[in-house]
C-alpha cells in the first residue's frame, strides 16, 4: 500500500472538512474524535499504509510531517510539554492510511494512556520513529 493510488474505502484519501493546512504533498485536519484540547492529524496525500511499511527512503516524508505538526501546534501556542506527536502502531491504528497525531495538551478524559510520552506497544512518538528510521539508513 506504499504510495499507491487512492483506494475508494480510505476516508483520509478523499476531500476532507476540518482542514487546517494543505500543500501539494500533505494535509492536516482536526481529528473527528479529539483526545486532547487540540487534536490534529497530518497525512501524506499519497496513500501509505502504516509505519510498518515505511523504509529509510521515507524519512524526508516523516520529517516533513513532523515539521508541519510542530508548526501548527506552535501557531496555536502548544509547545514542548504541551505538545505530543506520534503514530499508532499496527494493529492499533483504526485507519489504514499513514497519519501522525498532533496533540495539544491537556488530554481529554483518560486519553493520555493512548498516547504515552515515551511510547508503548501501541504508540510510537514521532521523534522515536525518526531515530529508528535514521538507524535503518546507516
* Residues whose CB falls within 8 Å of the CB of residue 28, separated by 6 or more in sequence, listed in order: 19, 20, 21, 22, 40, 41, 42, 43, 68, 69, 72, 102
Contact 11, 29 (CB under 8 A): no
* Banded model confidence at residue 110, pLDDT cuts 50, 70, 90: confident
At 54 the pLDDT is 95
Q: What whole-number distance in Å separates Cα of residue 73 and Cα of residue 40?
A: 9
Query: In the block, which residue shows the cell 529509510?
Result: 56
The percent of residues above 70 in pLDDT, for the chain, comes to: 87
Per-residue DSSP letter, 47: B
- What positions carry a catalytic annotation? 101
Residue 109 region, left (φ>0) first, then alpha (ψ -120 to 50), else beta?
Answer: left
Comparing 112 with 63, the larger pLDDT belongs to: 63
Beta strands (DSSP E) in 23-96 are 26-30, 36-44, 83-88
Amino acid at each position: 500500500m506504499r504510495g499507491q493510488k487512492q483506494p475508494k474505502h480510505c476516508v483520509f484519501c478523499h476531500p476532507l472538512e476540518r482542514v487546517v493546512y494543505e500543500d501539494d504533498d500533505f494535509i492536516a485536519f482536526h481529528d473527528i474524535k479529539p483526545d486532547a484540547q487540540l487534536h490534529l492529524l497530518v497525512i501524506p496525500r499519497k496513500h501509505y499504509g502504516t509505519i510498518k511499511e515505511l523504509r529509510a527512503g521515507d524519512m524526508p516524508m516523516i520529517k516533513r510531517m513532523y515539521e508541519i505538526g510542530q508548526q501548527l501546534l506552535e501557531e496555536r501556542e502548544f509547545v514542548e510539554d504541551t505538545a505530543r506527536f506520534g503514530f499508532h502502531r499496527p494493529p492499533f491504528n483504526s485507519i489504514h492510511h499513514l497519519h501522525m497525531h498532533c496533540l495539544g495538551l491537556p488530554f481529554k478524559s483518560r486519553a493520555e494512556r493512548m498516547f504515552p510520552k515515551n511510547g508503548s506497544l501501541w504508540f510510537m512518538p514521532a521523534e522515536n520513529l525518526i531515530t529508528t528510521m535514521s538507524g535503518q539508513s546507516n
